[in-house]
Structure 1
Amino acid sequence: MSGNEWQVEHRYLDLPERFYTRVHPTPLRGARLVCFNHTLADQMGFSTRDQDEWAQVGAGAELLEGMEPVAMKYTGHQFGAYNPDLGDGRGLLLWETIGPDGRRWDWHLKGAGQTPYSRFGDGRAVLRSTIREYLCSEAMAGLGIATTRALFMTAASDPVQRETVETAATLMRVTPSHIRFGHFEFASYHLGAGAVKTLLDHVISLHFPELEELPEQERYLRWLETVAQRTARLIADWQAVGFCHGVMNSDNMSILGETFDYGPFAFLDDFNAGYICNRTDQGGRYAYNRQPQIGFTNCQYLANALLPIMDEDALRRSLRHYETAYNERFMRNMRDKLGLLMAQEDDLQLVMDTFNLLHQHSVDYTGFFRALSHLHSRGPSPIRDLFVERETADSWLEAYQQRLEREEQSAEDREQAMLSVNPKFILRNYLAQQIIDAAKNEDYQPMQDLLKVLAKPFDEWTEFEHLAAPPPDSGKGLALSCSS
């Protein structure tokens, strides 16, 4: 490895051994590195002249000095039912590095082979799902939404049986912490109060050091308030860009408030408030419009796990911060999208009217707000063209223009501000499928092109105009399964 400026630690191993099992990766055959995130690597404090030197690490065939792979143990609520048998079933936490800016990074190799928590699975990830997670985590980062990141990806020749025979792949996922709500549920329900306290002290010391000087009970309550607020703001950010997370189980909820574990997901095409992106989710538990409530439910699961060491009434008071944080962030996001600087009492009604308009007329969500951003320079025609009944659009535009008359910002400044928050490019599912189809033929150039655009989704990128196009009818509203 060349040009490394990091420090190496593995502080997760400070936790009691019940929180993990030491497991070595099962090497892949014929592995080759197909994507390497050089920009992220620079942020993390290292560089490489030859990205292929990481191929053997990604294949699980080589460990660097200091790497001690472990499968983390946690539990959690899946679709509302508690499952005690969860844990890292196909991924391994390798080590932690600290970059020159002091930021800590966990390195987690997904698709590394079987672990004690694989539950009859093969421990592998397939090319299809690995590409989707790489693309979406980087798309979310480009949108400014808290997320885990993709450092690099390998493809291999090993066959993997899913609905059909697919090829294996691995992803090196990085984030300051892989600890989830489910870690606390495991500690609380299976190890006892001492383990809950140990885990909470560990998390605060590493990731919330600003709380350490507070008295113990206040420190713990402030921590829960902070996690609830971060979770609420994250989901408000999802709602604003039309993102749907198809598996909002408590074991997929990060204690840092990051988007975590990309299984079935989607960005809205034609707006549908009840859109379900996971075809396994028969009851629509994780539908787009239910995400805010599910986020709160998951915070309740976390609070319940803290009952052995905290007062129940105090926990309830802490959870009230979720609703306040969500409502404030959601309205701020929507005012930004609509170009409104001055808060008015009737703004919520305008936002709801806008959602109802888009829902009733099945209007492309991203396309609508991008066209609205150009209202001053390009006029209403691009917006009206999104509607079959243009009179309906005219009626909404008239009400919107009346609201803009109460603003003091110039139209030019408003347009620039709106263009900086309403993306032109999102990771539509039909685009992801095109990338997957090309990759099956070992053509990764389309993936590189799309990653370039997703890194700066608010720019015009006229040379990649086709990547901003709405999907064909056959590519709209796709729902995916949990198979990976």
Structure 2
Amino acid sequence: MQFNPRYSSLNAKLYHQQQPKVLLGAKAGHFNVNLANHLHWSEQDQHDWVEICSGQKTFAEFEPLAMVYAGHQFGQWAGQLGDGRGLLIAQILDKNHQTIDLHLKGAGLTPYSRMGDGRAVLRSVIREYLAGHALNSLGIPSSDAVGFTTSTQGVQREKLEPGAMMLRTSDCHIRLGHFEWINQYQPDLLPEFTKKCIEWYYPECLDAEQPILAFATQVIQRTAVMISHWQLVGFAHGVMNTDNLNITGSTLDFGPYGFLERFRPNWINNHSDHHGRYTYQQQPSIGHWNLWMWLNNLVPLCPINIDKEVWKEKLAQCLEHFEPTFLEHYQHGLKQKMGLPTFHKESFECAMAFLHVLKTEQLDYTQSFIRLQNKQYEALKDDCLDRRQFESFLTQYLQLREHHDVEASDKIMQSVNPHYILRNHMAQKAIELAEKNDFSEVERLFNLLTTPFTKQPDLETIADLGPLPDDQPEIMVSCSS
């Protein structure tokens, strides 16, 4: 591995250095060989992956550390938070010469654990491991993981569960909440911290007339693009607190997430979200709110030659980029999923009519686009109670397709409409088998989700292609991990 330690060069008030606390009886769960190769893991590193992914082996080039940050959780100021069960154990260069964080989850108590025990359970580790892999395979920037381990040591949640650790990778673990903590508790560190964030993640902004404004605009735009990608594949993060969004617009912190099955935009996939704050349909507005909270922490960075009220107005203008950026990427992506001409003014209206059909008829989001892609119009209509509504949509859809190169648009549809997403019941089956020391279903899903846009009849099962039957209860996911 090629080490590039950066975070430990910051003021020591921003972190606490400590070694992982090893779980008893660590053993292999799953290893992501391709990712390890991309990160320049040597043969010896790959041979020792269980020791590395369980905290038994760390690196002389980087002393593990827990970050401190703060955040707004469910819209309320939560005060000091931080890595309560995870440690940054290395920063290394990948094959693209990009710095990647290695973050060990479930590594034990830290000064920021609050009332937690510093551990992770196998259930939550498998869900995050598969979700990060799924989103990356869908082309959506996200954390990933080199591997995870289970153990013979139990961890108490609602019941005693197998303890586990996972070695997460991300281009960035600096969250919006880092700025909130610094501004609240160590404001003198804000200028240098912000400068380093720009140097490390947005060096092109250094040449701007106002680097901080350029930086803020880039963070806002990347976040908007990320959320547009979530919406297009039907991904609901479930807990979009300010401490769960980073500054590079890559998905971070999988808790009670879910991929939409039957198209219900107001579906509450986190049973702790009693008011539906973090539903799928709320994600763009919550992203905007979080960024507004974040921008408030850049107010103290007002240059001496600019009036403070003018500076506030300039920061607010940065946020004006969010909505048009989101809409541009979402509308373009939705037209591509539908195979509609991106230039035609009625294409988005037609796409929204299709979503209205999916919503009123409670059709499966992912497979409905596949059926449309495969021109299975009669099959779609047969699933509709209101056949006239579908026929009205189809008439407009086919007329718009006449204005387009159908063959070219069909190829685009095939490249953007996945056959497979990680449904909750798929993950649950893998978890239940893994808790019996059978990781075959984790391996099958990992392989299936590696190429989600390619039909894999020899690997798929019927359960991968649709929601559970109506007579089976929906899988609910909590924040417990």
User: Where on the TM-score scale, by shorter chain, does this alignment land: which range?
Assistant: over 0.9
> Residues of 2 paired with 1:307 and 1:154: CA distance?
43
Equivalence for 1:3: none
Q: Secondary structure at the match of 2:300?
A: coil
- Cα drift, residue 44 of structure 1: 1.3
1:396 aligned to 2:393? yes
C-alpha contact 1:148 1:260 (8 A) present in aligned 2: yes
> Residues of 2 paired with 1:27 and 1:253: CA distance?
28
- Cα drift, residue 51 of structure 1: 4.1
Which amino acid in 1 is paired with 2:443?
Q
> Residues of 1 paired with 2:455 and 2:408: CA distance?
17
Out of 116, 120, 124, the position equivalent to 1:125 is 120
**Structural mapping, 1:116-195, within 5 Å:** 116-192=111-187, 194-195=188-189
Equivalence for 1:345: 345
1:199 aligned to 2:193? yes
- Cα drift, residue 49 of structure 1: 6.5
> Residues of 2 paired with 1:87 and 1:330: CA distance?
32
Which amino acid in 2 is paired with 1:182?
G
Out of 67, 70, 73, the position equivalent to 1:72 is 67
Equivalence for 1:361: 361
> Residues of 2 paired with 1:59 and 1:404: CA distance?
53
Out of 281, 284, 298, the position equivalent to 1:306 is 298
> Residues of 1 paired with 2:296 and 2:372: CA distance?
44
Which amino acid in 2 is paired with 1:78?
Q
> Residues of 1 paired with 2:265 and 2:449: CA distance?
24
Q: Secondary structure at the match of 1:270?
A: coil
Over 3 Å counting, the alpha-carbon distance change for 1:111 and 1:275 in structure 2 is same
1:273 aligned to 2:265? yes
Aligned length: 471
Q: Secondary structure at the match of 2:16?
A: strand
Which amino acid in 1 is paired with 2:207?
E
> Residues of 2 paired with 1:373 and 1:386: CA distance?
16
When the two structures are superposed, what TM-score results if normalisation uses the length of structure 1? 0.94
Worse-matched range after superposition: 315-324 or 468-477: 468-477
> Residues of 2 paired with 1:357 and 1:240: CA distance?
16
Out of 202, 215, 237, the position equivalent to 1:208 is 202
Worse-matched range after superposition: 80-89 or 384-393: 384-393
Which amino acid in 1 is paired with 2:383?
L
Which amino acid in 2 is paired with 1:437?
E
Over 3 Å counting, the alpha-carbon distance change for 1:145 and 1:333 in structure 2 is same
Q: Which runs of 5+ in 2 are unaligned?
A: 303-310
> Residues of 2 paired with 1:475 and 1:135: CA distance?
23
- Cα drift, residue 403 of structure 1: 1.6
Q: Secondary structure at the match of 1:107?
A: strand
The one-character-per-residue Cα deviations of 1:424-451 (angstroms, maximum 9, x if unpaired) are 0000000000100110111111111111
Q: Secondary structure at the match of 1:84?
A: strand
> Residues of 1 paired with 2:191 and 2:133: CA distance?
34
Equivalence for 2:468: 472
Over 3 Å counting, the alpha-carbon distance change for 1:372 and 1:47 in structure 2 is farther
Equivalence for 2:455: 460
> Residues of 2 paired with 1:305 and 1:121: CA distance?
28
Over 3 Å counting, the alpha-carbon distance change for 1:50 and 1:223 in structure 2 is closer
- Cα drift, residue 52 of structure 1: 5.0
> Residues of 2 paired with 1:396 and 1:152: CA distance?
45
- Cα drift, residue 33 of structure 1: 2.1
RMSD between aligned alpha carbons?
1.5
Equivalence for 1:435: 430
The one-character-per-residue Cα deviations of 1:97-152 (angstroms, maximum 9, x if unpaired) are 11343111111000000001111211000000000000000000010001011111
C-alpha contact 2:335 2:348 (8 A) present in aligned 1: no
> Residues of 2 paired with 1:373 and 1:331: CA distance?
18
C-alpha contact 1:364 1:386 (8 A) present in aligned 2: no
The one-character-per-residue Cα deviations of 1:151-207 (angstroms, maximum 9, x if unpaired) are 110111111110111010011011121100000111111111x31111111111111
> Residues of 1 paired with 2:386 and 2:352: CA distance?
19
Q: Which runs of 5+ in 1 are unaligned?
A: 1-5
> Residues of 1 paired with 2:473 and 2:403: CA distance?
37
Which amino acid in 1 is paired with 2:155?
V
> Residues of 1 paired with 2:464 and 2:343: CA distance?
31
> Residues of 2 paired with 1:420 and 1:104: CA distance?
29
Equivalence for 2:371: 371
> Residues of 1 paired with 2:141 and 2:387: CA distance?
37
The one-character-per-residue Cα deviations of 1:21-70 (angstroms, maximum 9, x if unpaired) are 11221111110122111111121122436845121222222212213111
The one-character-per-residue Cα deviations of 1:426-482 (angstroms, maximum 9, x if unpaired) are 000000001001101111111111111111100010112315321223567533110
Worse-matched range after superposition: 134-143 or 13-22: 13-22
C-alpha contact 1:270 1:476 (8 A) present in aligned 2: no
Equivalence for 2:249: 257
Equivalence for 2:419: 424
C-alpha contact 1:268 1:477 (8 A) present in aligned 2: no
Equivalence for 2:232: 240
1:26 aligned to 2:21? yes
Over 3 Å counting, the alpha-carbon distance change for 1:309 and 1:321 in structure 2 is same
Q: Secondary structure at the match of 1:315?
A: helix
> Residues of 2 paired with 1:382 and 1:22: CA distance?
59
Over 3 Å counting, the alpha-carbon distance change for 1:393 and 1:249 in structure 2 is same
Q: Secondary structure at the match of 2:164?
A: strand
> Residues of 2 paired with 1:475 and 1:23: CA distance?
46
Over 3 Å counting, the alpha-carbon distance change for 1:257 and 1:436 in structure 2 is same
1:283 aligned to 2:257? no
